[in-house]
Amino acid sequence: MLWPMHVKLFILGLPGSGKSAVARYISMRAKDRQWSTTHINDFAILYKMFEEDTEGQFRPASYGGFDVLEFAVFDTALRKLEQKVNGYIFPANSERLLLIEFSRNDYQKAFHQFSYEFLQDAYFLYLDAEISTCKRRILERIANPSSEDDFFVSEYIFDAYYNEDDGRSISQILAGDYGIEKQRVEVIENNGLLLDSIALINNFIDTICELENLRDS
């Protein structure tokens, strides 16, 4: 089975839910099948906004991180994210699987920052993890970083922003607002090791491949 050009897969969940680890696993699996992937997240966008901030919308945090003080910047970052992803889609290049990663506390509001068309042909993988698990993972990755995605997220932002998370209802949100079929959306409990979730991730990737082949047939 082959990927068509430019399949978008959103990988969502709380900071520390395992999004980047899952994206790296999917990229590795794609490489084994000679598929090209591009991993895009909004952290770099937010970090650049933090560096250029002159309005007090951010503040420095520990371990070279930052806190968001004005939550409207989360919406701005998503609009910039769509522009960045479209930069990979519209030129004629070889990228086929675009892994798009971000965390928000209100996914219905988050999706409304994107154009309707941007979401229509996409797939969505939500990693459901307890806040306590996410906080522990963040401390572990700061103590022993293994990738450029191992950045710090403070207690403040968890308490002030991520104290509620509607990811478990993501299928209903996407179906109700965008008419996206449930088979394009997968919610996986990810409180344990990545190994525990691999079978479900593989099944979802196989579903994406089957649906894309049907679309192109």
CATH code for the domain of 27: 3.40.50.300
pLDDT, position 43: 94
Q: Residue 1 falls within a domain, yes or no? A: no
Closest CA to 114 of 77, 72, 69, 87: 77
Q: Residue 206 falls within a domain, yes or no? A: yes
Task: Give the CA count within 13 Å in the CB-facing half-sphere of 114.
Answer: 24
Q: Compute the distance between CA of residue 98 and CA of residue 9 in angstroms, rounded to an integer.
A: 6
What's the Cα-to-Cα distance from 20 to each of 4, 27, 41, 139, 207, rounded to whole Å?
A: 23, 10, 9, 15, 21
pLDDT, position 39: 93
Q: For residue 98, what are the domain limits?
A: 7-216
Strand 97-102 with 123-128, pairing = unpaired
Please classify residue 68 by burial: count the beta carbons closer than 10 Å to its beta carbon, then call 0-12 exposed, 13-18 middle and 19+ buried.
Answer: buried
pLDDT, position 217: 57
Q: Residue 2 falls within a domain, yes or no? A: no
Other C-beta atoms lying within 10 Å of the C-beta of residue 3: 20
Q: What is the pLDDT of residues 182-211, one digit of tens each?
A: 999 999 999 999 999 999 999 999 898 888
Mean pLDDT of the chain: 90
Q: Residue 210 falls within a domain, yes or no? A: yes
- Residue 26's DSSP bridge partners are none
Domains identified in the chain, total number? 1
- Residue 40's DSSP bridge partners are 100
